[in-house]
Amino acid sequence: MNSMISFFKSSLGKKYLMAVTGILLFLFLIGHLIGNLQIFGPPELINQYAHFLHSKPLLVWGARLGLLLIVGIHISTAAQLTRENRQARPVAYAVPPVYGSSWQSRYMLVSGLVILAFIVYHLAHFTALLPGINGVGDFRRLETTLPGGEKGRDVYAMVVLGFQVWWVALFYLVAQGLLFVHLGHGLASMFQSLGFRNHVWAPRIAWFARGASTALLIGYAAIPAAIYLRLIGASHAEKAKHQLAVSPAGPRMFSIQTALSPLEADLSAETGKEAAK
Amino acid sequence: MKVTLKVWRQKNRHTPGHFASYQTPQLNPNMSFLEMLDVVNEDLASRGEEPIAFDHDCREGICGTCSLVINGKPHGPHRGVATCQTYLRSFKDGDEIIVEPFRARAFPLVKDLVVDRQAFDRIQHAGGFITVRTGSPPDANAIPVPKESADLAMDAAQCIGCGACVAACKNASAMLFVAAKVSHLGLLPQGQPERYRRVQAMVKQMDAEGFGACTVTGSCEAVCPKEITLDFIARMNRDYGVALLRGAPKKIAGGGA
């Protein structure tokens, strides 16, 4: 155990942590993209998928807590490494040495911080469903009848309405661009940090990093781009929009009241259910 | 030819330093960079000024003593060349050349352009050797070494410990140096018995000296006068991971007696 602790306290061990958490986050990105690309199918497809996920709270919460832990380790290790790296050169050069290093590698911290800000917004936008930050209205009101006859969230309408807002689509695209930059360096470097690299594999790894980061960029950016250009879902969204219009909350400006009212409604509904039992 | 030198002057590490500009006397373009500094120093001494302190020894690219960051690049503009083998023909008449010392917390400044690189010696003392005597050169093929391993070990053994990798790295990381030393011995049969203990001890000392970590930017291999590659850092990382998996050696009952 002691050797484990001293391993992960060393500079090399911290790079192992960055690489291992990076690989897990990369795998999550692939899975998340496959799930999201269902938006290009009929509305029932992604709505049923969302319904399936929500019917397995253990799976969903397990994945969420796991991801939180992984992201937490990735960021806290990065913070420690950044601090140590800055301390290692107290006096800067007059001529900044910028040769031999790719620009992606010099902007890992910046791209990482923007991606973090994006994750917070993305969770508030489509997971916590905070109204007032999406520029549309209260996504909790969007309901649909699933093919099985049950009532469920209209995730399809939510995503389409969400990305029809220009600044939301733009922020998502910018974040995807920076994720591409971050992965362009990170995917190649994680092999280096874990020791899987030699003169034979170095060019193959470089191709893999370029290919995988480009594929993820195209996949993820296609969703907000296609929706904003009204290539998919515009008619469905138009039909679903009326559900937002019946909002008693009035103007859709951000305020604590509008942010909290759906939570309160949910709580009272929950307690109502409890009481009924 | 003549150039203008903008040189870092600092009396010692306790007094703040500054850049000073010097117009050189007439120079021969076939002078090495260090010979140019000799000429400038002679000129300064004749005018009663303090000469510029800089490190140098063999002046033929094999001792690793010369340093200098020239126009932002350790060892000057060329690839695979140390400062002592950088010639004035690489610059133009009338150029302004900015000369700085290697900058890293683990390389404290001594004077002007001279820094203390004993941190590298301490890393070597921690494990960069073979404990038993390996004898005088053995008969050829008495100890079989695969040709590929011998070639790679030779590539790593070229490291002259100049510290340019640290000077170039944005994190002042010494990983290229340590990786070269770890790989050089770890690739040869004589280095096997202490292979994993060596990598752990050297990395521990490297961290204790206050060098940064590797961000795989590749600046180190771009400036290395011996063109040691990033692949060796991967090899060190690999050995370090294997050392963790192997764990501490088994305790021997009776203390091994």
Domains and CATH numbers, chain B: 4-110 (3.10.20.30), 117-246 (1.10.1060.10)
pLDDT value of position A271: 47
Residue in B176, B167, B171, B13 with CA at minimum distance from that of residue A88 = B171
Q: Do the beta carbons of residue A180 and residue A214 sit within 8 Å?
A: yes
Spell out the residues 6+ positions from residue A246 whose beta carbon is closer than 8 angstroms to its own: A141
Angle at A244 between CA A243 and CA A246, to 5 degrees: 75
Among the partner-chain residues A102, A189, A202, the one whose CB lies closest to the CB of B231 is: A202
Note the pLDDT of residue A246.
Answer: 58
Distances (CA, A) of B229 to A24, A199, B224: 28, 9, 8
| B77 vs A: CB within 8 A | no
Instruction: Look up residue B52 and give its amino acid.
Output: I
Work out whether strand B4-9 and strand B96-100 pair parallel, antiparallel, or are unpaired: parallel
- Does B13 contact A at CB distance below 8 Å? no
Residue matched to tokens 């292979």: B195
Domain map of chain A by residue range? 2-87+102-246
Our CA-based measurement puts residue B251 at a distance from the nearest CA of chain A, in whole angstroms, of: 15
| A100/B207 touch (CB, cutoff 8 Å), yes or no | no
Going residue by residue through chain B, which has 257 residues, state the pLDDT in tens, using 9 for 90 and above.
999 999 999 999 999 999 999 999 999 999 999 999 999 999 999 999 999 999 999 999 999 999 999 999 999 999 999 999 999 999 999 999 999 999 999 999 999 999 999 999 999 999 999 999 888 888 888 889 999 999 999 999 999 999 999 999 999 999 999 999 999 999 999 999 999 999 999 999 999 999 999 999 899 999 999 999 999 999 999 999 999 999 888 887 776 55
Given the candidates 1.10.10, 1.20.1300, 3.30.1490, 1.10.357, the CATH classification of the domain at A2-87+102-246 is 1.20.1300
- The per-residue pLDDT for A98 is 62
B223 touches chain A (CB under 8 A): yes
Q: How far apart are CA A95 and CA B6, in angstroms?
A: 11
Q: Which residue of A has its CA nearest to B246?
A: A3
pLDDT at residue number B256 = 59
User: Tokens 């913070």 map to which residue?
Assistant: A79
Closest CA–CA distance from residue A32 to any residue of chain B (Å): 27
Task: Kindly state the tokens that stand for A152.
Answer: 């469920």
Listing DSSP states for A5-52 in one string gives HHHHHSHHHHHHHHHHHHHHHHHHHHHHHHHHGGGGS-HHHHHHHHHH
Q: With an 8 Å Cβ cutoff, are B231 and A95 in contact?
A: no
Q: Which residue ranges in chain A fall short of pLDDT 70?
A: 1, 97-98, 100, 246-277
Interchain contact, A97 vs B72, CB within 8 Å: yes
The confidence score (pLDDT) of residue B141 equals 87
3-class state of residue B41 by DSSP: helix
Cβ proximity of A137 and A252 under 8 Å? yes
Report the alpha-carbon distance of residue A122 to residue A114 in Å, rounded: 12
DSSP E strands, B45-106: 69-70, 73-74, 96-100
Which residues in chain A touch residue B70, judged by CB atoms under 8 angstroms apart? Answer: none
